[in-house]
Structure formats: C-alpha cells, structure tokens
Amino acid sequence: MQDLRWPTYANRNLVLDGAVFDDVESGRGSVRVKDRDGKVYLDAVGGIGCLPLGHAHPRWVAAVEAQMRKLVAAAGTFWTEPQQELVAMLAKHMPWSDTRTFLGNTGTEVTEASIKLALRATGRDVVVAFERAFHGRTLGAIAMTANAAYREPYVACLGEDRPAFAHMNVVRAPWGDLDAVEALFVRYPSRIAMVAIEPIQGEAGIFPASREFLVGLRELCTRHGALLGDDEIQAGSGRTGNFLAWTTLVGDDPALAPDIVWLAKAIGGGFPIASCSARTDLAAHMIKGSHGSTFGGNPLACAAAVATLRVMQDEGLYASAKAQLPTLQAIAAEDPEPRVKEIRGSGAMIGIEIAATSASDAQPAAALGDAMQAKGVLVTICSGHTVRVLLPYHAGAAELRQIWTTLRQVLAG
C-alpha cells in the first residue's frame, strides 16, 4: 500500500484497524488493537499518550455521541455548556485559586499560547527552554524544542547568527543546571519572559526533573520577574497519579506552583483538545483579539474532555496510573534483564532505557519498536535508547508483564 501523506513519519508498516474488546471488563476501555489481518497488539503507544481510558471507553463514547447529535461547532464568541464545564473543571485542578483557560486543539498550539501570554504579561522578549526539550512543531514551539533537526531550516534561536525564516528569542539551558539558568538571567537582564519546562521530559526519553530543580526554577523566576511555564502535554492529565505532574514532583504548595500550565494529549481521552491555563490576573493580559482558534474549545472536544476527567475521577484511575511504574519495576526485579539500564518515569509515563552494547552503539533501542510489534506489543522508542510505555491508566500487572516478557524475548534475539 502506498502512503500518500507527506513522508514525515517513520513507517511501521502497520495498518491499524480498530480496538479489540474480547477480554475487556465491562465498563472499561480497551488496551488492545488489531491490524487488518486480525493480529492483536497490546497498545502501549495510545496515540502517544492520548488514551488514558483506553480505546472507546463506553462512557466516553456515549458522551461524544450525545454531543455529536446536539452541537459540534460553535465560534469562541459563544458559550457552550461543555466548554464552560471543562474550564470550570480545569480551574479546580490548577494550583491557583482563580484560573482562566484558553482552549485549543493540539499541544503545539497551546505552547504558542503560553509564549504569547508570557510576552504580553511581562513585556519582555526572551524565553528559556531546556536541552533535550520537546514542545511541539510550530515555529515558536520548535524554537523551544532542542532537537536541531526539528528546527532547521526554519528557525534560528538567540545567538545563532545565520539566515533563517524566523529568528526566535529562545535560549537553551542544560537540564538540571540552576546556575546556568541564573547565568541566563544575568546575561539577558529584564528580558526573560518565561522559563518553560516539561516536568518529565517525554520525547527525550522520560526524564523526570528533580524537585530541587523545579523549586529552584520557581525561586529564580520569582526573583527575576519571569514566568514559570509548565508544559504538561505528555506528563499531565493524571498520568503520574495526580492531575499535574508538577504536583507529583513538587507537591501542592501554591507558593511553589508554576505560572502557566498547558495540557493536550490525554485530556481529551483521544479526541484532539488542548488547554493553556494561568491565574486570572495574568490571563487578563490576553485582551480581546490577542488570540483565538476556530476549532479550539469546540463543544464536541470539550464534551470528550469532560467525560474523560469524570471517568478518571469516578474509576480511581489516578491511583491505578500511579501504580504502573512500581509494578513494572517489581516485575523487572523478579525477572531481571541485564541489557536494561534503567526503568524510570512516574506512574503511567514509563521509560525503559536500554544499555549500549559498545561505545559506538548510540541507539541501542532503535530496532525494538519493530521487534516488539512483531510480537504483538506496540511501543515507541525515544532518542534511540529508551522504550516508552504510555498505557491507559487502568492497565496493570498483566499488561506490564506482557511488555516486560516481550522486551526480554526481543533482547534475547
């Protein structure tokens, strides 16, 4: 079969047909999909972290179907019930007493929204991002993204003196290095609008920030008048056992909270939706006409997100998500695999790093995605060294054991 899309994706040679419900407990979503030949796969990709309830959770499907019959599109100038319900729910989950939210469709769109808000609210013009970071694929977001292959030939960042379509005032700091961030505040006095961080770097290979680093960034931003931006697109929406990964890593002291929080992926339960939230006084800088999105916050997407949040709460999915990492670590401890260097992450955001076999082996996990797929398990590989596991939150020991056993089999060759 010929792929008539742009050739931008690595091809897994797999046509996914639909979810499989054979062994699904009533009232749950499915964790398995099948291809067109009927071969079944455990899905630990989940659209890259978009399926916290699994595929086609009955309450999620019912909510989307009902909304589809009622109202699917509405301009942002109108209020709708699901839109107002969602922003109220998000406000309850945010670390501030009073929250305002912009609703968009994709992660990169809300990264852009965070940049606009930070520039307007501070009147400054520079953003600090981190080495290995991934914040999306539009121009502002790729400027904040570390991988040069994603940025070039579109964007040159601050200090990069070369012709480019866009010159973006983004500077990068090493991960975990508070002194380096402080040095940037000294180098660009009164210019840094926002320091933006993924509390757990996802695409890079599942690297959680230390509490000390996040608290240190909070202190630096406060001291230098910059905003602290928290990209929770991959780590947020309950994946670590709390609504925000920030809470999991730092705690819920409001004095240590970020200033801007943005979400996408899991928040819609599989339906595209994204949000960018901030305290009301900050959001007030986004005056009429300063931002917008035709589909952002459409009633269908909001109904999907409201249903997702309700199911997470009602079915105890925060707790089951939280249990996944320790469960996998326990399974691995019983049945150790010498080629696994580390199993890290938080809750249902898990990275299994594979050790290099030689000094020249820079991508020891590169072939594992295809190899595990052949054995009926779908995972993605991050940075060539880490197997990423993003299961639905209700998945547990059985699914994690299947992943571990399959990994061990493919490593054994």
Ligand X SMILES: Cc1ncc(COP(=O)(O)O)c(C=O)c1O
Residues in contact with ligand X by CB under 6 A are 48, 106-108, 111, 134-136, 198, 202-203, 231, 233-234, 264
Residue 201 Cβ vs ligand X, minimum distance, rounded to whole Å: 8
**204 token code pair:** 């890079």
Three-class SS of 255-275? HHCCCEEEECHHHHCCCCCEE
By beta-carbon proximity to ligand X, the closer residue of 275 and 320 is 275
By beta-carbon proximity to ligand X, the closer residue of 108 and 324 is 108
Report the sign of the C-alpha dihedral through residues 67, 69, 72, 74, in that order. Answer: negative
Go through 91-120 and write b for each residue having 16 or more CB atoms within 10 A of its CB, e for each that does not: bebbbbeebbbbbbbbbbbbbbbbbbbbbb
Residue 18 Cβ vs ligand X, minimum distance, rounded to whole Å: 23
Q: Distances in Å between the alpha carbon of 51 and those of 260, 276, 391?
A: 24, 20, 8
By beta-carbon proximity to ligand X, the closer residue of 135 and 218 is 135
- Give the strand order in the sheet containing 99-104: 99-104, 274-279, 260-263, 227-231, 192-197, 126-130, 170-173
Residue 136 Cβ vs ligand X, minimum distance, rounded to whole Å: 4
Residue 97 Cβ vs ligand X, minimum distance, rounded to whole Å: 26
By beta-carbon proximity to ligand X, the closer residue of 107 and 205 is 107
As to burial, measured by CB atoms within 10 angstroms (0-12 exposed, 13-18 middle, 19+ buried), residue 333 is: exposed
Report the sign of the C-alpha dihedral through residues 388, 390, 391, 397, in that order. Answer: positive
Residue 46 Cβ vs ligand X, minimum distance, rounded to whole Å: 12
Residue 291 Cβ vs ligand X, minimum distance, rounded to whole Å: 16
By beta-carbon proximity to ligand X, the closer residue of 53 and 141 is 141
By beta-carbon proximity to ligand X, the closer residue of 203 and 315 is 203
Would you say how long the chain is, in residues?
413
Residue type, 281: D
Residue of minimal CB distance from ligand X? Answer: 107
Residue 292 Cβ vs ligand X, minimum distance, rounded to whole Å: 18
In whole angstroms, what is the distance from residue 126 CA to residue 140 CA?
11
